[in-house]
Amino acid sequence: MPIPVKLDILAITSTAKVVDYEIETERYNKSAKRASLPQFRHDDGRRQHITFRRLRA
């Protein structure tokens, strides 16, 4: 059975070989830009915050 999910694109601006997804997620959440798709916006146009959980190896 498929699991419905909402997915927005996290644009990575870092040019480093290793990307710190926690920093990129924080940058995304602090930016005032609108979400790329309407379903990721609150009624007043603000983006919904995303969370990133560190995966354990």
* pLDDT tens per residue, range 13-57: 777 788 888 887 787 777 766 655 555 566 665 666 666 566 555
User: φ, ψ for residue 41 (rounded to 5)?
Assistant: -105, 145
Half-sphere exposure of 29 (CA within 13 A, CB side): 10
Report residue 50 as tokens.
Answer: 């995303």
Element spanning 27, H or E: helix 21-30
54 vs 4 pLDDT, higher one: 4
CB 24 within 8 A of CB 12: yes
What pTM, to 2 d.p., does this model score?
Answer: 0.41
Task: State the pLDDT at residue 57.
Answer: 52
